Structure 1
Amino acid sequence: MPEDGQLKTGPLCLASTRSEITQSHYPDQGPFTQGLGKSVNSTGAGGSLTPSHFKSVEWSPDGTTLLADSSDHNIRTYILPPDLLDEESLPHTLSPYSVLPSGEPTYSSAFYPFFSLQEPSSSIFLSSVRDHPIRLASAFSPTSLATYSLVNPTTEAFITPHCMIYPPSLGGTHFLTGSDSLICLFDVSRPGNEGPVSWMPTIPSKRKQLVGGGVGMKGIVSAMAVNPDAGGILAAGTFSRNVGLYDSNGSGQSLGTFNVARTEADRRIGGGGVTQLLWSPCGRYLYIAERKSDGVLVYDIRVTGQLLGWLQGRRALSNQRMKIDLVPTGQGSSHEIWAGGTDGFMRGWQDPAYVAGGQDPGFEWKLDFSNGSVSSTVMHPIGDIAATTSGQKRFEDLVADGCGESHRTGSNTSLDVWLLPSVTGGEES
């Protein structure tokens, strides 16, 4: 590794939204978009092409589409061009294929696990919007196909999930939601006002002064992940820094809970609430990302609640959610963790579960198009390609007009797709 801590060969930008300011049509993408139409679909206020800033992005399971959530309450769909790796036209311009607006912020989203661009009926995703039912929408048109109600039986107010996932072993027929001290299981074939098929409180009662009477975990369930092993153990984390393990994809009994505060890692890297959970490919280790943290926690789940180590130098001391990702590297359980920082860098750690204690990043580089915080770093499902979002709210982005009203001066954000250099096999020197 070079003395300055950076790779000599950085990533190559394949596509970016930075030049997408006035473009209103997505270019012809050949066979990938035949029969889908070309116009950017957008309705309602705030449905502009250029967001104030991107909050997060995720890949579709087939690797053809990006789903980006932004601070202007719009979810944008980007379909990658089939000539993405053609060097003669780099970087490609990314323009939204569809814009799904909403009147309130989006808390979470989830792609249908069998999403395929070739099958429009499968190209759908879930999104949870504050004070509204959960929406099932098409990636190609700004309309809801179905809604699922999650309502407090006492107050009749909508409960907004802070995280949603499709358990892999359930074949896309059900999805899980996490909210305040509650995990719910929905049947996708039962939309409307029926609600979830099962309610699973994470504590016996909210009335107890002690957290659930000393049992379970109290707080907003902000992140969930299902173990890749056949057992289907669900890990759920909260903003109150608790992590719980549940059997049978979250619908079974509690296997135990633990708190990530008051550890040596907390003294070294800090933390202010769980925002993301990732399982290692072998299903033995759990990676815990938090807001206001300089790293990522590594826990050995074979012994519930045992801290193995932590990844340091992440540079994510912010209230902003900073999405990380895990990518397998070859056969066996070898893998890497990738993350962005508030300084505009992308960083990676190789085989982080094999080192006890603190571990510095093995490689890092400054992204050419980054504009402030790199809020998401997500890896393509089958290749050495990463998508990143950068940008955050800034005071100088708002200017006052003659009537005293504040208006945003322009876009301070970017969504980029990168071809990553090899960092294994001795090629990082």
Structure 2
Amino acid sequence: MEAEEQYLERGEPVDAGVLSGEQVEVPAEGQHTAAGWYTAFVFPCQPQPLYRATQEYASSSAACPNTNFLKGLKWSPDGACLLTASDDNWLRLYDLPQDVATAAVLQHPDTLPPEEQAEAAEAAAGASTSGSSCSAAGGAGPDNLAPALRMHAGETVYDYCWYSRMSALDPVSCCLASTARGHPIQLWDACSGEPRATYRGYNDADEPTAAYSMAFSPDGGRLLGGYNRSIYVFDVTRPGRDYKRIVTHKRKNPESITGIVSCMAWSPAGDVFAAGTYTGGLGVYDGRTYELLLLLSGTKGGLTQLLFSADGNYLYTGARQDPHMLCWDVRHTYAALYSMERPTAHTNQRVQFDIEPAGRHLLTGGCDGAVLVYDLSSGQLVDRRQVAADTVNGVGFHPTLGLLATASGERGHNVLGHVRAA
């Protein structure tokens, strides 16, 4: 059987594909989906792209003088939409295509075996110069995925996330948040693309300051904002500058995490949350009292992503300038259980990872254009697939279907201001 998988391919294209592999249905423990089931993948699998969008990220603008590229992606909680951010300071929302179950497989050179990539690229170039369109067998083919909404963040996007209770069946819940340089946290309407509200943080000098990271609580009632040596807790129903401040670092206090809070994550139950900093500090906090419960150390680079397992017992971390992703048992250990390697030792980009809904595998990008799949029961690498020509910085499993989206790209120098070519 085939398990469908979707790709947002490279900073230049946005592609989607299908994983050719076994697909088994298992009960969704702790999850409440429409059918009560979800897809579990059996790796290794061969990716087969379904959708792509290239030209959307190839436009030149003053905000992006060199090259434009994607900066990650995130599925909505109900799986109806896909959200991306890019270096041109725009957020783009893609609706899940209605024909996803019957979509034709695209042939993209980056997903072919290495020995076939050069031949496919030459065939695509020949078709382009002769004026003919690329066929599914000979080249990348035309874009077949267009954004439903575009939202301009104004400045460099630091972070973005979906409202945790978002459902396409309830328009009031259809919203997302973003934070950008020099701007307050902005709440956007995911149906119209218009701003709904702002949440403003201020520093010790009573000057407005931007959040570097965000995380909605699982119940949707609170929004955490990560600032320099502080976490601000906003009541979602009360926009403005009303917030509770949690000081994450105090002088002469070793029991704290120093630096800018660069990433945060709630446990599925909402009883605790984790916060990481660009200095490598990592702490686990009580979700009710906001007290520091656990201080973890061992990461070498600045933390860029945290993710809890479905049962909330394990925490997975990834960092920039660090080739190791770590697994922590937050119940009774101060040391990492094991590490998983990826090619991110020499990049400052946020390189995303995600855990499949079945909870068995973790998939991550890297700077070599490949996606790596690890078995979380052992921490062993079980699959590696080439999907792009440069950094794969975004990956995301669909919450209920067998789809996976990937985004890739990196900053380059192109006088035309287009996305880097393969």
Pairwise same-fold verdict (TM > 0.5): yes
Percentage identity across paired residues of the two chains: 30
1:256 corresponds in structure 2 to: 294
Which residue of 372, 375, 378 maps to 2:393? 375
User: In the alignment, is the contact (CA less than 8 A) between 2:342 and 2:365 conserved in 1?
Assistant: no
1:56 corresponds in structure 2 to: 72
Which residue of 269, 273, 286 maps to 1:234? 273
Which residue of 310, 327, 340 maps to 2:339? 310
Measure, in 2, the Cα distance between the counterparts of 1:389 and 1:22. Answer: 14
2:46 corresponds in structure 1 to: 10
1:163 aligns with 2:216: no
- The 3 A distance-change label for structure 1 pair 237 and 166 is same
**Gap runs ≥5 in structure 2:** 1-42, 107-140
Measure, in 2, the Cα distance between the counterparts of 1:159 and 1:115. Answer: 27
1:117 aligns with 2:125: no
- The 3 A distance-change label for structure 1 pair 308 and 93 is same
Measure, in 1, the Cα distance between the counterparts of 2:372 and 2:71. Answer: 19
- The Cα of 1:16 is off from its aligned counterpart by 0.9
1:80 aligns with 2:96: yes
Which residue of 215, 219, 226 maps to 2:255? 215
**Gap runs ≥5 in structure 1:** 1-6, 24-43, 262-270, 400-406, 415-429
1:276 corresponds in structure 2 to: 305
1:392 corresponds in structure 2 to: 410
- The Cα of 1:320 is off from its aligned counterpart by 0.7
Letter in 2 for 1:237: G
- 3-state SS of the aligned residue for 2:323? strand
- The Cα of 1:248 is off from its aligned counterpart by 2.3
Measure, in 1, the Cα distance between the counterparts of 2:320 and 2:383. Answer: 22
1:339 corresponds in structure 2 to: 364
1:324 corresponds in structure 2 to: 353
User: In the alignment, is the contact (CA less than 8 A) between 1:59 and 1:380 conserved in 2?
Assistant: yes
Deviations 1:43-93 (A, max 9, x none): x9769xxx8111111000111111111101111111121111213485871
2:187 corresponds in structure 1 to: 136
More divergent stretch after superposition (306-315 vs 318-327): 306-315
- The Cα of 1:110 is off from its aligned counterpart by 1.5
2:15 corresponds in structure 1 to: none
- The 3 A distance-change label for structure 1 pair 219 and 22 is closer
Measure, in 2, the Cα distance between the counterparts of 1:148 and 1:120. Answer: 21
More divergent stretch after superposition (138-147 vs 12-21): 12-21
- The 3 A distance-change label for structure 1 pair 308 and 413 is farther
Letter in 2 for 1:238: T
1:412 aligns with 2:395: no
- The 3 A distance-change label for structure 1 pair 364 and 184 is same
1:203 corresponds in structure 2 to: 249
Measure, in 2, the Cα distance between the counterparts of 1:18 and 1:220. Answer: 34
User: In the alignment, is the contact (CA less than 8 A) between 1:392 and 1:413 conserved in 2?
Assistant: no
Which residue of 68, 82, 91 maps to 1:66? 82
1:191 aligns with 2:242: no
- The Cα of 1:360 is off from its aligned counterpart by 4.3
User: In the alignment, is the contact (CA less than 8 A) between 2:320 and 2:344 conserved in 1?
Assistant: no
Measure, in 2, the Cα distance between the counterparts of 1:317 and 1:184. Answer: 31
Taking structure 1 as the reference length, what is the TM-score of the superposition? 0.74
1:150 corresponds in structure 2 to: 201
1:177 aligns with 2:221: no
Deviations 1:161-205 (A, max 9, x none): 12111111xx2122111111111111112113x331x1110123x
User: In the alignment, is the contact (CA less than 8 A) between 1:104 and 1:129 conserved in 2?
Assistant: yes
More divergent stretch after superposition (87-96 vs 337-346): 87-96
1:107 aligns with 2:146: no
Measure, in 1, the Cα distance between the counterparts of 2:258 and 2:321. Answer: 20
- The 3 A distance-change label for structure 1 pair 199 and 20 is closer
1:286-305 maps to which residues of 2 (within 5 A)?
Answer: 286-305=315-334
- 3-state SS of the aligned residue for 1:75? strand
User: In the alignment, is the contact (CA less than 8 A) between 1:223 and 1:276 conserved in 2?
Assistant: yes
Measure, in 1, the Cα distance between the counterparts of 2:103 and 2:161. Answer: 32
More RCO (CA 8 Å, sep 6+) = 2
- 3-state SS of the aligned residue for 1:307? coil
1:418 corresponds in structure 2 to: none
- The 3 A distance-change label for structure 1 pair 379 and 8 is closer
- The 3 A distance-change label for structure 1 pair 8 and 66 is closer
1:266 corresponds in structure 2 to: none
User: In the alignment, is the contact (CA less than 8 A) between 2:57 and 2:68 conserved in 1?
Assistant: no
Give the aligned CA root-mean-square deviation in angstroms. 2.7
